[in-house]
Amino acid sequence: MILCADPPPPIKPPENKITELAKTAYDSSTMEQKTRLHIERHRSCEVSQVILSEVENRCQPQTLEPIKSGGTPRSGCSPSVESTNALHRHMVADAAWEALKKSVVHFRGQPIGTVAAIDKSQGALNYDQVFMRDFVPSALAFLMKGEPSIVKNFLLETARLQLREKMVDLFKLGQGVMPASFKVHHCNSMQKTESLLADFGETAIGRVAPVDSGLWWIILLRAYTKWTRDNSLAESPDCQRAMRLILKLCLSEGFDTSPALLCADGCSMVDRRMGIYGYPIEIQALFFMALRCAVTLLKEDCNDDFVYQISKRIKALSYHLHSYYWLDFQRLNDIYRYKTEEYSETALNKFNVIPESIPDWIFDFMPSRGGYFIGNVSPARMDFRWFCLGNFIAILSSLATGEQAEAILDLVEERWEELIGEMPMKVCYPAMEKQEWQIVTGCDPKNTRWSYHNGGSWPVLLWLLVAVSVKLGRPHIARRAVELTEKRLVKDEFPEYYDGRAGRYVGKQARKFQTWSVAGYLVAKMLLDDPSNLRAVSLADDGHIREGPLLKRSNSFS
Ligand code: GLC
């Protein structure tokens, strides 16, 4: 059975039947679930690998469903259960498209973005704004649906916003900073004149400028260009200037001894104090991807060597992250046996990490098969937490080698209960509790253990999980996650996040009708239905992104 990429023809159950229908589908399928998972795991070995370069060249819609013999339904369900499931899926997709449509914001008559959430039951705070990072899945959904104009308008308007002067108290921010969010301001009571009000961090909780915004902007520009095959937007003076301004900020020289970007806490998706200050993997992976996108989009200027500088940074960053962030069983064992206080260029324990600082949980969490890029590395500090976004962007950008990409997905499979549980998927693992939570978050009541940014489960991350599973030809992982999401998402009204170790509870302060939960689901579904959609968000390993010997494992083991 092939799932439809577009909203299916109107098989619309009456509104009040939706929950009932979802329940029936759930009840009748639970029995088969365990058997199905077993069968799917087995089948995964039979599904041929979808090599990205092939996907990029083929661009032919195809299905990843394994070939069925004798017309037996995939899951072994009875035909009536299959059709109830199909009906339920259609219903979820219908509801999602409708919610996404409602979230669209217009500026001077043109669509320019989507609001973060439409939850009438709670105060809007800034959820009525268009967030740069939140718009990415919406943009992908619109691109894949064949509606690129909203994406173009968004890119152009935000490039204009970037040029505004931005001040926090008496301090002027760098020109390249892109806004975290913006909203349409109606200038008079008759609502005839409109302007855009942007937030670059000066009104945000915590007053942090979003480092990820500009990186996402470049990634989105490449997605638009790749998708529409229209180079004119990227080549326009506005977009060329915007890219250069963003990257000049990131490439400027300072006191750093590493090619990674130094960040304040709360400068990305995790936008509150969560101990990610320093060199968080999320930003480093986005930085790597944005640099790679920029190389393909920037026009060479004979007056400078900007593109050359970018290429050098790509290699240095790749080397740094491979050497110091990659963790697997072997490397954990190496770090566990590290000697300290080494001085000289040949030191193995370069950051002087004291083995006693390795947290207990990691010894159990680390499977024999699998690995990941850890959260952060700086002097005497390794943050061993698993962060979803950074690891999946590492796969999509080909920062991870083929072997490492497989290892990241192996880890997800091996630690399914911890990382996915009942709702894909955890923003980070594990949660901080008690005194650690007090010290690191500053007693943040929104980030209590297993909630929100502190080990909460975010449906938006589904699209990334599906994208990497499809990229690596392991779609059974994607299907399993999508099925889990479909059981709850509409019934719970597209929450922003879920709480609890297994992600079973709608988040304490989660907004309903959170747009990126809606769009993330739609993108996931379209990627699964048609893997060629992956070309918008995936970069192949072109062989020019690494230099010198690649340290997959530590060489400090003696
Ligand atoms: C929360 C999230 C942030 C998101 C914003 C709007 O603050 O942490 O990543 O952009 O909500 O949805």
Using most ligand atoms within 8 A of CB, pick from 181, 271, 461, 516 the residue to mutate for ligand 1. Answer: 271
**Pick from 233, 172, 95, 88: which is nearest to 519 by CA?**
95
Cα(269) to centroid(ligand 1), Å: 6
CA distance 78 to 80: 5
CA distance 521 to 516: 8
pLDDT of residue 32: 37
pLDDT of residue 33: 43
Cα(507) to centroid(ligand 1), Å: 14
pLDDT of residue 4: 35
CA distance 332 to 479: 31
pTM of the predicted protein model: 0.86
Cα(134) to centroid(ligand 1), Å: 7
Within 8 A by CB and 6+ apart from 483, the residues are none
Check pocket membership of 269 for ligand 1, CB cut-off 6 A: yes
307: its two tokens: 């593109």
Check pocket membership of 116 for ligand 1, CB cut-off 6 A: yes
pLDDT of residue 546: 82
pLDDT of residue 438: 98
Check pocket membership of 282 for ligand 1, CB cut-off 6 A: no
pLDDT of residue 80: 80
How many CB atoms are located within 10 Å of the residue 222 CB?
22
pLDDT truncated to tens, each residue of the chain (558 aa)?
A: 333 333 434 433 333 433 343 333 333 343 334 334 333 433 333 333 343 444 433 333 333 333 333 333 444 567 787 888 889 999 999 999 999 999 999 999 999 999 999 998 888 889 999 999 999 999 999 999 999 999 999 999 999 999 999 999 999 999 999 999 999 998 876 667 899 999 999 988 889 999 999 999 999 999 999 999 999 999 999 999 999 999 999 999 989 999 999 999 999 999 999 999 999 999 999 999 999 999 999 998 877 899 999 999 999 999 999 999 999 999 999 999 999 999 888 999 999 999 999 999 999 999 999 999 999 999 999 999 999 999 999 999 999 999 999 999 999 999 999 999 999 999 999 999 999 999 999 999 999 999 999 999 999 999 999 999 999 999 999 999 999 999 999 999 999 999 999 999 999 999 999 999 999 999 999 999 999 999 999 999 988 788 765 554 444 333
Based on its alpha-carbon atoms, the radius of gyration of the chain, rounded to whole angstroms, reads 23
**Pick from 52, 22, 115, 189: which is nearest to 519 by CA?**
115
Within 8 A by CB and 6+ apart from 536, the residues are 140, 143, 144, 223, 226, 227
Check pocket membership of 131 for ligand 1, CB cut-off 6 A: yes
109: its two tokens: 């008559």
Check pocket membership of 271 for ligand 1, CB cut-off 6 A: yes
Using most ligand atoms within 8 A of CB, pick from 134, 427, 444 the residue to mutate for ligand 1. Answer: 134
192: its two tokens: 């005839």
Using the atom order of ligand 1, give the atom closest to the CA of residue 181.
Answer: 10
DSSP state of 18: H
**Pick from 385, 320, 324: which is nearest to 358 by CA?**
385
Check pocket membership of 134 for ligand 1, CB cut-off 6 A: yes
372: its two tokens: 């990941």
Using the atom order of ligand 1, give the atom closest to the CA of residue 515.
Answer: 12
Using most ligand atoms within 8 A of CB, pick from 138, 213, 269 the residue to mutate for ligand 1. Answer: 269
pLDDT of residue 434: 98
537: its two tokens: 């968000």
**pLDDT tens-digit map of 16-67:** 433 343 333 333 343 334 334 333 433 333 333 343 444 433 333 333 333 3
Using the atom order of ligand 1, give the atom closest to the CA of residue 134.
Answer: 10
Check pocket membership of 234 for ligand 1, CB cut-off 6 A: no
Can you name the residues that pair with 199 across neighbouring β-strands?
A: 181
Cα(501) to centroid(ligand 1), Å: 21
Q: How many CA atoms lie within 13 A of 131 on its CB side?
A: 20
Within 8 A by CB and 6+ apart from 529, the residues are 2, 3, 4, 5, 61, 63
Contact 455, 428 (CB under 8 A): yes
**pLDDT tens-digit map of 515-531:** 999 999 999 999 999 99
Strands of the 428-429 sheet, one edge to the other: 326-328, 371-378, 381-387, 428-429
Cα(126) to centroid(ligand 1), Å: 9
Q: Which amino acid is at 373?
A: F
> How much is the mean pLDDT over the chain?
87
Using the atom order of ligand 1, give the atom closest to the CA of residue 516.
Answer: 12
Using the atom order of ligand 1, give the atom closest to the CA of residue 453.
Answer: 8
Q: Positive or negative CA dihedral for 92, 95, 97, 100? A: negative
pLDDT of residue 7: 40
pLDDT of residue 300: 85
pLDDT of residue 121: 87
pLDDT of residue 31: 33
